[in-house]
Amino acid sequence: MHVVSVIVNRANTFVDQDSVIRSYNDICGSGFSDPYCMLGIVTSSAAESEATNSEADKSGTVGIKTAVDRIPARFIKTTSVKENTLSPVWNEKFCL
């Protein structure tokens, strides 16, 4: 079994996602957000399985899946939440 070590260091220029829109012209926000990072690996076998399932879709539509949809929850790692910042620094190490 292979292990990948990942260090999540920092992120820059996040956009404030905590704003509340009261009306079209009135956005109420702190100018900060509470960012975190999610990590996971999509294996080649998972990607092949997804391609096979997409081809078997009889409706003719192929849904766009996010990484969270494609990776089993037990294989997703999440950093801590850094409150009230748009430039978080984590310095957290993960083994995937």
Q: Is the pLDDT of residue 42 over 70?
A: yes
Q: Is the pLDDT of residue 86 over 80?
A: yes
55 vs 9, residue with greater confidence? 9
Total tally of structural domains belonging to the chain: 1
86 vs 27, residue with greater confidence? 86
Closest CA to 30 of 45, 38, 20: 20
pLDDT for 34:
85
Q: Is the pLDDT of residue 78 over 90?
A: yes
Q: Are 85 and 35 in contact (CB under 8 A)?
A: yes
Q: Is the pLDDT of residue 64 over 90?
A: no
- Give this prediction's pTM: 0.63
Domain that holds residue 65: 5-95
